[in-house]
Protein backbone atom coordinates (compact mmCIF):
# COMPACT_ATOMS: atom_id res chain seq x y z
CA UNK A 1 0.00 0.00 0.00
CA UNK A 2 2.88 2.35 0.84
CA UNK A 3 4.39 1.74 -2.59
CA UNK A 4 1.10 2.51 -4.33
CA UNK A 5 1.06 6.03 -2.86
CA UNK A 6 4.64 6.64 -3.99
CA UNK A 7 3.78 5.31 -7.44
CA UNK A 8 0.91 7.81 -7.74
CA UNK A 9 3.16 10.67 -6.57
CA UNK A 10 5.87 9.65 -9.06
CA UNK A 11 3.31 9.44 -11.86
CA UNK A 12 2.00 12.92 -11.02
CA UNK A 13 5.54 14.33 -11.06
CA UNK A 14 6.29 12.71 -14.45
CA UNK A 15 3.06 14.08 -15.97
CA UNK A 16 3.80 17.53 -14.51
CA UNK A 17 7.32 17.49 -15.99
CA UNK A 18 6.06 16.50 -19.42
CA UNK A 19 3.50 19.32 -19.39
CA UNK A 20 6.12 21.83 -18.24
CA UNK A 21 8.48 20.69 -21.01
CA UNK A 22 5.70 20.95 -23.61
CA UNK A 23 4.72 24.48 -22.57
CA UNK A 24 8.37 25.52 -22.48
CA UNK A 25 8.86 24.32 -26.07
CA UNK A 26 5.70 26.13 -27.18
CA UNK A 27 6.87 29.33 -25.53
CA UNK A 28 10.37 29.30 -27.02
CA UNK A 29 9.51 28.54 -30.66
CA UNK A 30 9.06 32.26 -31.40
CA UNK A 31 12.80 32.59 -31.73
CA UNK A 32 15.99 33.65 -30.07
CA UNK A 33 15.74 37.33 -29.25
CA UNK A 34 15.01 38.72 -32.71
CA UNK A 35 11.25 38.14 -32.65
CA UNK A 36 10.87 38.17 -28.88
CA UNK A 37 9.12 41.55 -28.80
CA UNK A 38 6.61 40.64 -31.53
CA UNK A 39 3.20 40.10 -29.92
CA UNK A 40 1.67 36.67 -30.30
CA UNK A 41 -1.18 36.65 -32.85
CA UNK A 42 -3.54 34.73 -30.60
CA UNK A 43 -3.37 37.48 -27.99
CA UNK A 44 -5.14 39.95 -30.27
CA UNK A 45 -7.58 37.55 -31.86
CA UNK A 46 -10.57 39.03 -30.07
CA UNK A 47 -10.84 42.73 -29.53
CA UNK A 48 -12.57 43.82 -26.39
CA UNK A 49 -14.71 46.90 -26.16
CA UNK A 50 -14.54 49.24 -23.18
CA UNK A 51 -17.13 47.27 -21.19
CA UNK A 52 -15.20 44.01 -21.66
CA UNK A 53 -17.55 42.31 -24.08
CA UNK A 54 -16.45 40.95 -27.44
CA UNK A 55 -17.07 43.53 -30.11
CA UNK A 56 -19.34 42.99 -33.09
CA UNK A 57 -17.51 42.73 -36.39
CA UNK A 58 -18.85 44.31 -39.55
CA UNK A 59 -17.78 44.09 -43.19
CA UNK A 60 -16.76 47.05 -45.32
CA UNK A 61 -19.29 47.47 -48.14
CA UNK A 62 -16.49 48.63 -50.47
CA UNK A 63 -13.46 46.36 -49.93
CA UNK A 64 -15.05 43.56 -47.85
CA UNK A 65 -12.61 43.72 -44.93
CA UNK A 66 -13.95 42.82 -41.46
CA UNK A 67 -13.37 45.23 -38.59
CA UNK A 68 -14.90 46.23 -35.19
CA UNK A 69 -18.16 48.15 -35.43
CA UNK A 70 -16.70 50.93 -33.22
CA UNK A 71 -14.28 51.80 -36.05
CA UNK A 72 -16.95 51.75 -38.73
CA UNK A 73 -17.84 54.74 -40.88
CA UNK A 74 -21.60 54.45 -41.38
CA UNK A 75 -23.19 55.70 -44.57
CA UNK A 76 -26.60 57.39 -44.59
CA UNK A 77 -27.98 54.18 -46.15
CA UNK A 78 -26.80 52.20 -43.10
CA UNK A 79 -23.88 50.51 -44.88
CA UNK A 80 -20.60 50.15 -42.95
CA UNK A 81 -17.22 51.20 -44.36
CA UNK A 82 -13.70 50.69 -43.01
CA UNK A 83 -12.66 54.28 -43.69
CA UNK A 84 -13.98 57.67 -44.74
CA UNK A 85 -12.22 57.16 -48.09
CA UNK A 86 -14.11 53.94 -48.85
CA UNK A 87 -17.42 55.54 -47.85
CA UNK A 88 -16.60 58.39 -50.24
CA UNK A 89 -15.54 56.03 -53.05
CA UNK A 90 -18.69 53.94 -52.66
CA UNK A 91 -20.99 56.94 -52.94
CA UNK A 92 -20.02 57.45 -56.57
ZN1 LIG B 1 -13.00 49.30 -47.08
Q: Which helix (H) or strand (E) holds 81?
A: strand 80-81
Mapped onto helix, strand or coil, the DSSP state of residue 73 is: strand
CA distances to 9, 13, 56 from 85, rounded to whole Å, are 64, 59, 22
Cα-to-centroid distance, 4 and ligand 1 (Å): 65
pLDDT of residue 21: 86
Cα-to-centroid distance, 45 and ligand 1 (Å): 20
pLDDT of residue 85: 94
pLDDT means per 10 residues in the chain (92 residues)? 87 89 73 53 57 85 94 92 92 67
- Please state the length of the chain: 92
pLDDT of residue 34: 52
Give the C-alpha separation, 89 to 92, whole Å. Answer: 6
Q: Which residues are paired to 66 by β-bridges?
A: 59
pLDDT of residue 17: 85
Cα-to-centroid distance, 56 and ligand 1 (Å): 17
Cα-to-centroid distance, 75 and ligand 1 (Å): 12
pTM of the model: 0.43
Q: Which residues are paired to 59 by β-bridges?
A: 66
Amino acid sequence: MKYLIWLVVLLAVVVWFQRAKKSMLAGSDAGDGAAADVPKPKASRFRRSADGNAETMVQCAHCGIHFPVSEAVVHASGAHYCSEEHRHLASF
